[in-house]
Structure 1
Amino acid sequence: MGDTCGMHSREEAVRLADELGGRIHVALRDDGLDAELVVELACLLYDKGLRTPAVQEVLERATAHLTARDLARLGEDLLRDSGFEPTFALEPGLWTELEQALKRVARDVRATGIPGMLRLVVPDWDDSDQAWVEFRGVHHGNGIRPVAGRDPQGALASVADAAQEVIMEMIWGVWPVCSVHGLGLRAELEDEMVVWRCAGAGTHDVALVGELSSERRE
């Protein structure tokens, strides 16, 4: 079956692989994956020079012999091989998770007396479909990939980090600050919880992200 590949330029293969990855992602989610989609993606990856076990298996096996379980396994493997990540349009729940995280970070902004509103945006100039935290009408620092929304705590850590970047840029100062040592805090994942951590006095946790109004000092 590999002889049927090689019909696309490298640039075209990259673009088509992204589009096809989205279709396969949706089909896997909805339990309706068709063998034709799997074969087409395998060919496109072959065109790009990828010779992974999944690509080789799809191109060497007869399509009629691929069971539904085979297709699901190979579809997932091909998405991983291609580096596919779902967009917010494909998985709106990823955006929702980031918005929930932003609400928790916004509580800390209010608790520390910093005026201004946070919101998530996808700028027109960012064709990577990343979310950015906007503060006082400005977005700065790091974008947040949609996959960050797969895990609530991962989403919270990513949003807290991005919010901190833009807030400090706008206030020209450190935020948030440890009330004990006067040092800046960083959002870090600890025991499946995201905490604001101070580097002073041997490092200590100040509060959970979203609970700076009730600091826990150590």
Structure 2
Amino acid sequence: MHSHEKAEQVANELRSRIYTALRDGGLNAEPVIELACLLEEWGMRTPATRELLERPTAHLTAQDLTRLGEDLLRDTGFEPTFALEPRLWTALEQALMTVERDVRATGLSGTLRLVSPEWDDSGQAWVEFQGIHHGNGIRPGVGSDPQWALASVADATQEVIMEMIWGVWPVCSAHGLGLRAELGHEMAVWRCTGAGTHSVAPVGELPPEPR
């Protein structure tokens, strides 16, 4: 392993330790100071790293460590993995169950599930339809908001279904145009670009197609 890759691995381990301690309680100064030193070595100087390296460790209170630990995670764009926060995966699975109602309402059959392919080292989730996963991966952080999760899972489902059927899905019955999943007024909805763009239905509530 190259030195840069090893340093990245160490940084990720430290951030995971800090995140877990912030979540569960019991954060101590060691991982916070160590991460601040590593970031400084990389030339990433922030108010949090400066404070951590300039103040005596003994003067850092529990509140200080919490604040500075949160700042370091935010400044480095940390996002917990599914392994670290299984509830994020559960949230995406629940969103997929809602999207599946639209899949069945439009007459499509076949297994629909959430997967984490071995070839994907990004840590994302993928929607698999009829044994195929294609299109957009879904980052763990998406699972932190139910409606964001719903819109993202709907978008990923749309991508893989259209790849499988070689056609547009779902379709606006009024205009014959494809729909797209969007967040509107903090709700995941299917929107049509026809007639000035309009909402067709909340995700999970597409009307059944006539048989």
Q: TM-score, normalised by structure 2?
A: 0.95
Asked whether the equivalents of residues 105 and 208 of structure 2 are also in contact (C-alpha less than 8 Å), the reply is: no
Tell me the equivalent position of 2:194.
200
Residue 20 of structure 1 aligns with which residue?
Answer: 14
Partner of 1:184: 178
Distance in 1 between the 2:15 and 2:109 partners? 42
> Which residue of 136, 144, 153 maps to 1:142?
136
1:93 to 84, 87, 91: 87
Pick aligned residue for 2:62 from 41, 44, 68: 68
Query: Retained in 2: the 8 A contact 1:131–1:145?
Result: yes
With 92-101 and 46-55 compared, the bigger mean Cα shift is at: 46-55
Shift in Å, 1:83: 1.7
Change (3 A) 1:214 1:138: closer
Aligned residue for 1:3? none
Q: Secondary structure at the match of 1:189?
A: strand
- Counterparts of 2:41 and 2:139, CA distance in 1: 27
Counterpart Cα distance in 1 of 2:46 and 2:208: 51
The letter for the 2-side match of 1:98 is L
Q: Specify the code of the residue in structure 1 equivalent to 2:144.
A: R
Contact residue 124 and residue 137 of structure 2 kept, 8 A: yes
CA distance in structure 1 between the aligned counterparts of 2:32 and 2:5, rounded to whole angstroms? 20
Normalising by structure 1, we get a TM-score of 0.92
SS of aligned partner of 1:126: coil
Secondary structure of the 1:212 match is coil
After TM superposition, the structure 1 = structure 2 runs for residues 116-131 of structure 1, keeping only pairs within 5 Å, are 116-131=110-125
Change (3 A) 1:113 1:214: closer
- The alignment's C-alpha RMSD in Å is 1.4
Q: Which residue of structure 1 lines up, in the alignment, with residue 36 of structure 2?
A: 42
Is the Cα–Cα contact under 8 Å of residues 13 and 47 in structure 1 kept in the other structure? no
AA paired with 1:60? E
List runs of 5+ in structure 1 lacking aligned partners: 1-7
Q: Distance in 2 between matches of 1:30 and 1:194?
A: 31
The residue aligned with 2:26 is: 32
Alpha-carbon spacing, 1:177–1:114, altered in 2? closer, same or farther (3 Å): same
Tell me the SS of whatever aligns to 2:207. helix
**What is the aligned-residue identity percentage?**
75
Letter paired with 1:47: E
Q: Is the 8 A contact 1:13 1:45 kept in 2?
A: no
Give the Cα–Cα distance (whole angstroms) in 2 for the partners of residues 11 and 162 of structure 1: 31
Which of 133, 147, 159 lines up with 2:153 in the alignment? 159
**Does the Cα contact within 8 Å between 1:140 and 1:169 map onto a contact in 2?**
yes
Amino acid at match of 2:76: S
Q: Find the aligned partners of 1:93 and 1:121 in 2 and give their Cα distance.
A: 15
Could you tell me which of 87, 99, 103 is aligned with 1:105?
99
- Tell me the secondary structure at the aligned position of residue 87 of structure 1: coil
Whether 2:163 is the aligned partner of 1:169: answer yes
* Count of aligned residue pairs for this structure pair: 208
1:176 counterpart letter in structure 2:
P
- Matches of 1:214 and 1:110 in 2, distance apart? 8
